Chain A
Amino acid sequence: MSNWEAVIGLEIHVQLKTRTKMFCRCPNGFGGEPNTQTCPVCLAFPGALPVANRRAVEECIKLGLALDCEIAERAVFHRKNYFYPDLPKAYQISQYDEPLCARGKLAVPTENGDITVGITRAHLEEDAAKNVHVAASGRIHGATATLVDFNRGGTPLVEIVTEPDLHDAESAKRFLQLLRQTVVELDLSDAELEKGSMRFDVNVSVRPAGSDELRTRTELKNMNSFNFAAKGIEREIARQIRVYEQGGIVEQETLHFDPAHEESPPMRSKEEAQDYRYFPDPDLVPVHPPVDVVERLRGEIGELPGARIKRIADTLSFYDADVLVTGGLDRLWADVVAAGAEPKEAANVLANQFVATGIAPSAVNAAELAKLVSARAEIPRAAFDEALAKTGDAGFTAAPYLEQKVVGDAAELDPIIERIIDANPGQAEQFRGGKQGLLGFFVGQVMKETGGKADPRVVNERVREKLRA
């Protein structure tokens, strides 16, 4: 393994959540009945013309700024020509050699310092529509048809291309998580992998460690979770190394992980390798981002996730800081700590238990959550979980749950323990005779008697003590 180095580059598509599509004013969003969010432009009726969405242009610039890109003085939309049922004009409006944003970087913090990933470009384009491949309803067995819904066609996308600066699957995954969090925080996209509002392709190649050659790469497409991606990358790296070590050659190919989600142009036979015939779209005019707009957008960007991870890692472990920030939990964490919770305890609750509830951090009253976190050790586990699950409810208060604090006071427990030992002389005798396993029986009886409110640690200790007597 150590004789080889992996080289990984990423290409990420993020759907912007503008109100309207990129080049027409049809609503942009999920959920409409098929083809109800379409117009002459996104159906490519003869004569229809695209008009760029100002907000989409600004959002792309904003993302470019967050990725430390240079914003072009002049950007141009190009046509990328290919045929497919989900591409009604037979070209996608995209950007080619004059993208809006280029030459940026995103630093991914790690315990051992930053991994800086170069951003080659971040540009605007339009999404394709959706093909549904179905079996025919007719009687001809095996016949199929393709159904097309143009609602998604024309949704604004930002395409982000990285330099091949990543060298292992875990870093690639961390980069993607950080990028996702950045996009979500800037409120540019839902960036939900399951919905397809964030998608990515991974280019993987390997080379002998220490060399700087670039070998044939393969492209991994359509991976719909970060963990899945990490596993896929690991597997592909291992495969390529195996191929080389067995004296073979890695072929350039595209590996689809989920054919049901295939949305890219179909694979072509070699004789007509992809030739997109890019040229400037004459229906659109260049974008010259005005300086005042760029500066306004720059001013709207707050402290970015990468910086916050580093700041929070001063207080918590790096791992906790990373989980909190990329999970979108760090602001709530800070509020909960400010309201009096112990930082590490708060991080544990948020990163492990709270995140599993699926509650939006913004819906939570931090002061009430802080009370809950501070009392965690004293509340029965079930009650704590129940409370946590309700922290997103309007008007949630911790008070009813705090009343269920566990009984850990020996003076309160001792009479109960004594009563139970007296009621079970046979078991007590056996325990004293060496049957240590019976301790659990007594503890269980006490817990039952106290309705689960007794602190098991204290009960354990007191039962042992009393039986010894």
Chain B
Amino acid sequence: MIDTLRLTAEEAWRLVDGREISGAELFAAYAGREDDLHAYLHRCDDPGGDGIPIAIKDVIGTKGVPTTAGSKILEGYVPVFDSTVASRCKQRGLRLLGKTNTDEFAMGSSTENSAFGPSRNPWDPTRVPGGSGGGSAAAVTGGLAPWALGSDTGGSIKQPSALCGNVGLRPTYGTVSRYGVVAFASSLDQVGPVAKTVRDCAFLYSIIAGRDENDSTTVEVPTVELPGAEDLTGVRIGVPKEMNEAEGIEPGVSAAVRRAIELAESLGAEVGECSLPRSVEYGVACYYLVAPAEASSNLGRYDGVRYGLRSDAADFREMLMQTRHDGFGDEPKRRIMIGTYALSSGYYDAYYGTAQKVRTVIRREHADVFESFDLIVSPTSPTVAFKIGEKVDNPLAMYLNDLLTIPSCMAGLPGLNIPCGLSEGLPVGLQLIGPQFSENTLFRAGHALERALGFDSVPERLR
């Protein structure tokens, strides 16, 4: 019997490699599990082979398999080409289990903005799994996939991983191709792995990372090292006080993170306080200018001409406006309007132009901190998983949920979430952030902490 709740990708690989189970048996174990979390928007038949199954977020294009980005405007859309990351997974024999739920166009922190209904948190199905990549995170923790791909613009990998209690990496901007990934905010979007362990996460990252000639913004990356060390000797860890003492961080979250930091120290890390005042103070405002501005332009292509929804109308302009009215949900509409506003004549300098300068401030502030530290830590999310419906009527409150994940995204830095304990019976995520291309450091530290923490990633109700 394959226990999909506990089996890691690494173990699965070993079992298949050693002929203890077949690839088909492995695939069937995941595919046969009922999706009572609504983690998937679409599940696939076994394509065959001996590779490890994988779930892929529905913003990531997959040839011949529906890719909707959680939007009605792309309902029924089936790409005729693979995204580079999907293609790299295929080349390594990974077999697609299905496409996971997401907030529409990855805009959200709970999957409640999915046009196809929210996913549920495996720890408590009345709660959200986080977002936008809640489907991938719920699938991995809920035993519906050994690992998954997500995408992260302002926290969409890290935050759901925190809320579901698994490991998620948002890679350095430019290390993973965006080709074939439905664009939200091009200067921020990054695809990354979601897994049960840091080693699985590192391995999946090694499969997808690297320069892609189809994405001008990608670069060569350092060779990925699978972490093995169980100590943190010599690792300098900064604790930015604004990110650990921010208003709105729940006490239980703070406590779990504090314990993890103490543990790091006991593993040999040199822990010290640091400060990112303006990144935290202005990060969210900056993000909610830059990301919507880019999104307003990126979502222009949904015009009912070549694919996707088309509403009936007598002329092109009316068709265009009606299609976009009918096809986009409220959140994309809000962001399209904010972005259009921020870029429009007379407002550009005050909004978009200013936000780009704030982005420089955030980058510099982080660069200064990494003069003295190898990585910094904080809670990933200020809260544990909240109730479905709790924040849907207050977009701004929802935005503030990303307070701690956003600054490093603006700076293009990698961030790793690992589960570090429970608060009120729900997982708390620890965020580790490093300088550009420091994934190996994050893996090393994350792995050592993961071992020392001994967090049981199987939700209590499912044990």
Bound pair (A, B): yes
Within 8 Å by CB of A90, from B79, B183, B214, B301, lies B301
Stretch binding the partner chain, chosen from A79-87, A348-356, A436-444: A79-87
Asked if A44 and B301 sit within 8 Å, CB to CB, the answer is yes
Stretch binding the partner chain, chosen from A45-53, A167-175, A329-337, A395-403: A45-53
Residues of chain B within 8 A of A83, CB atoms compared: 300, 303, 317, 320
B354 to chain A, nearest CB (A): 13
Residues of chain A within 8 A of B67, CB atoms compared: 46
Asked if A47 and B217 sit within 8 Å, CB to CB, the answer is no
Q: Which of B209-224 contact A (CB under 8 A)?
A: 213-217
Q: Which of A273-318 contact B (CB under 8 A)?
A: 275, 277-279, 281-285
A46-B182, A83-B320, A85-B305 known; A51+B300 contact, CB < 8 A: no
B302-319 interface code vs A (CB 8 A; 1 in, 0 out):
010111000000001100
Question: Taking chain B's interface residues, is the majority helix, strand, or loop, or is none over half, making it mixed?
Answer: loop
Asked if B300 and A283 sit within 8 Å, CB to CB, the answer is no
Asked whether B384 is an interface residue with its Cβ less than 8 Å from the other chain, the reply is: no
Asked if A277 and B297 sit within 8 Å, CB to CB, the answer is yes
Within 8 Å by CB of B306, from A44, A50, A146, lies A44
Chain B: CB-nearest residue to A274: B345
A29-64 interface code vs B (CB 8 A; 1 in, 0 out):
000000000001001111111111000000000000
In the docked arrangement, what's the CA distance between A148 and B303, Å?
13
Asked whether B332 is an interface residue with its Cβ less than 8 Å from the other chain, the reply is: no
Asked if A285 and B216 sit within 8 Å, CB to CB, the answer is yes
Residues of chain A within 8 A of B185, CB atoms compared: 282
Asked if B180 and A48 sit within 8 Å, CB to CB, the answer is yes
In the docked arrangement, what's the CA distance between A161 and B180, Å?
36
A64-90 interface code vs B (CB 8 A; 1 in, 0 out):
000000000000000101010100111
B57-68 interface code vs A (CB 8 A; 1 in, 0 out):
000110000010
Asked whether B340 is an interface residue with its Cβ less than 8 Å from the other chain, the reply is: yes
In the docked arrangement, what's the CA distance between A279 and B291, Å?
13
Asked whether B27 is an interface residue with its Cβ less than 8 Å from the other chain, the reply is: no
Best-buried of A51, A146, A283 by chain B (most CB within 10 Å) = A283
Asked whether A257 is an interface residue with its Cβ less than 8 Å from the other chain, the reply is: no
Asked whether B343 is an interface residue with its Cβ less than 8 Å from the other chain, the reply is: yes
A307 to chain B, nearest CB (A): 38
B143 to chain A, nearest CB (A): 29
Asked whether A91 is an interface residue with its Cβ less than 8 Å from the other chain, the reply is: yes
A46-B67, A83-B303 known; A91+B61 contact, CB < 8 A: no
A353 to chain B, nearest CB (A): 50
Asked if B216 and A49 sit within 8 Å, CB to CB, the answer is yes
Chain B: CB-nearest residue to A285: B216
Chain B: CB-nearest residue to A90: B300
Best-buried of A46, A47, A277 by chain B (most CB within 10 Å) = A46
Asked if A90 and B178 sit within 8 Å, CB to CB, the answer is no
B316 to chain A, nearest CB (A): 6
Asked if A46 and B80 sit within 8 Å, CB to CB, the answer is no
Residues of chain B within 8 A of A85, CB atoms compared: 303, 305, 316
In the docked arrangement, what's the CA distance between A49 and B301, Å?
13
Q: Which of B317-353 contact A (CB under 8 A)?
A: 317, 320, 340, 343-345, 348, 352
Residues of chain A within 8 A of B61, CB atoms compared: 46-47
Asked if A52 and B216 sit within 8 Å, CB to CB, the answer is yes
Asked if A91 and B300 sit within 8 Å, CB to CB, the answer is yes
Asked whether B200 is an interface residue with its Cβ less than 8 Å from the other chain, the reply is: no
Residues of chain A within 8 A of B293, CB atoms compared: 279
A90 to chain B, nearest CB (A): 3
Residues of chain A within 8 A of B316, CB atoms compared: 85, 146
A50-B216, A81-B297 known; A45+B74 contact, CB < 8 A: no
Residues of chain B within 8 A of A284, CB atoms compared: 216-217
Within 8 Å by CB of B213, from A51, A88, A90, A283, lies A51
Asked whether B103 is an interface residue with its Cβ less than 8 Å from the other chain, the reply is: no
Residues of chain B within 8 A of A50, CB atoms compared: 216
In the docked arrangement, what's the CA distance between A78 and B447, Å?
42
B263 to chain A, nearest CB (A): 39
Within 8 Å by CB of A279, from B80, B306, B343, lies B343
Within 8 Å by CB of B303, from A90, A281, A285, lies A90
Asked if B297 and A79 sit within 8 Å, CB to CB, the answer is yes
Chain A: CB-nearest residue to B73: A46
Chain A: CB-nearest residue to B179: A49
Asked whether B77 is an interface residue with its Cβ less than 8 Å from the other chain, the reply is: yes
In the docked arrangement, what's the CA distance between A91 and B339, Å?
14
Asked if B301 and A89 sit within 8 Å, CB to CB, the answer is yes
In the docked arrangement, what's the CA distance between A285 and B216, Å?
7
B184-201 interface code vs A (CB 8 A; 1 in, 0 out):
011100000000000000
In the docked arrangement, what's the CA distance between A83 and B336, Å?
14
Residues of chain B within 8 A of A146, CB atoms compared: 316
Q: Which of B346-378 contact A (CB under 8 A)?
A: 348, 352
B129-150 interface code vs A (CB 8 A; 1 in, 0 out):
0000000000000000000000
Chain B: CB-nearest residue to A281: B186
Chain A: CB-nearest residue to B185: A282
Asked if B306 and A91 sit within 8 Å, CB to CB, the answer is no
B217-240 interface code vs A (CB 8 A; 1 in, 0 out):
100000000000000000000000
Asked if A47 and B182 sit within 8 Å, CB to CB, the answer is yes
Asked if B301 and A88 sit within 8 Å, CB to CB, the answer is yes
A357 to chain B, nearest CB (A): 45
In the docked arrangement, what's the CA distance between A278 and B306, Å?
24
Residues of chain B within 8 A of A81, CB atoms compared: 296-297, 300, 343
Asked whether B94 is an interface residue with its Cβ less than 8 Å from the other chain, the reply is: no
In the docked arrangement, what's the CA distance between A130 and B343, Å?
28
Asked if B214 and A51 sit within 8 Å, CB to CB, the answer is yes
Asked whether B83 is an interface residue with its Cβ less than 8 Å from the other chain, the reply is: yes
Residues of chain B within 8 A of A275, CB atoms compared: 344-345
Residues of chain B within 8 A of A79, CB atoms compared: 297
In the docked arrangement, what's the CA distance between A177 and B80, Å?
45
B145 to chain A, nearest CB (A): 22
Asked if A47 and B306 sit within 8 Å, CB to CB, the answer is no
A47-B61, A275-B345, A277-B340 known; A283+B306 contact, CB < 8 A: no
Residues of chain B within 8 A of A51, CB atoms compared: 213-216
Asked if A47 and B79 sit within 8 Å, CB to CB, the answer is yes
In the docked arrangement, what's the CA distance between A278 and B340, Å?
11
Best-buried of B182, B296, B301 by chain A (most CB within 10 Å) = B301
A140 to chain B, nearest CB (A): 11
In the docked arrangement, what's the CA distance between A230 and B363, Å?
54
Best-buried of A44, A91, A146, A282 by chain B (most CB within 10 Å) = A282
Residues of chain A within 8 A of B348, CB atoms compared: 277, 279
Asked whether B294 is an interface residue with its Cβ less than 8 Å from the other chain, the reply is: yes
In the docked arrangement, what's the CA distance between A47 and B84, Å?
10
In the docked arrangement, what's the CA distance between A91 and B340, Å?
13
Asked if B181 and A47 sit within 8 Å, CB to CB, the answer is yes
Q: Which of A148-205 contact B (CB under 8 A)?
A: 148
Chain B: CB-nearest residue to A150: B306
Within 8 Å by CB of A89, from B215, B217, B300, B317, lies B300
In the docked arrangement, what's the CA distance between A49 and B297, Å?
14
In the docked arrangement, what's the CA distance between A105 and B12, Å?
68
Residues of chain B within 8 A of A278, CB atoms compared: 343
| Known A88-B301, A279-B348, A284-B217; 15 more pairs at CB < 8 Å | A47-B180, A48-B180, A51-B214, A51-B215, A51-B216, A81-B297, A83-B317, A89-B300, A89-B301, A90-B300, A90-B303, A277-B344, A279-B343, A285-B216, A285-B217
**A–B complex contacts, Cβ < 8 Å, 28 sampled:** A45-B80, A46-B67, A46-B77, A46-B79, A46-B182, A47-B60, A48-B179, A49-B214, A49-B215, A51-B215, A83-B320, A85-B316, A88-B301, A88-B303, A88-B306, A90-B297, A91-B297, A146-B316, A275-B344, A277-B343, A277-B344, A279-B293, A279-B294, A279-B297, A279-B348, A279-B352, A283-B186, A285-B216
